[in-house]
Structure 1
């Protein structure tokens, strides 16, 4: 009886040791992002948006989008007299310009589009987002 118990325990320890050796190798196949979710292998982790942005960065991003043809950005008012503005100002500006650009570019051939908008519009959106330090909008 003791032989069976010892053999069973030895087998359990061997399986546990094997699992410990295999687990780190499989865990390295996916990166862990800050909020605890696992990213897909080969994907870049997305940083969290800042809580606030500087008015100068918002105004510069607004100008980039207005120069690219966004009527929404052109109609928005520049921020002044504040130290910081909520990141929601920037994300709203980016989302509105993105939707506007996608609507404007909907009839372009697929070869001339990236993410359902013209490549210059796509570049303007991403340049504005980078200026404000925003990754998700």
Structure 2
């Protein structure tokens, strides 16, 4: 059970932050929408920036509290990472949201659009893994 506690704690914190963001701001905590909100003027921009800053500060705070950085392994080079980022951004706009908006917030609200989006995300991920493993 102990090896699952960090994942459980992370899930609880993600759910709590999404719930509080919805209750306090009346908006969904989808990251793509928050990033898009940075370019808008007004109070909403500051709230979006503060939420995103909290996401960015997560790993340094973890390192400070745990005494080490969270383990990460990135095997792709910068060109592949840049292309992947562009494709994710395009897909996010095409799908009217990202996994945090649809998967965390939309499913919790039983949004039909989010249920379809998450099913498409999962199917695409499975097909991609199957294709990549088939090429290797």
TM bin (shorter chain):
under 0.3
Structure number with the higher helix fraction is 2
TM-score (norm 2): 0.26
Say which one has the larger Rg.
1
Structure number with the higher strand fraction is 1
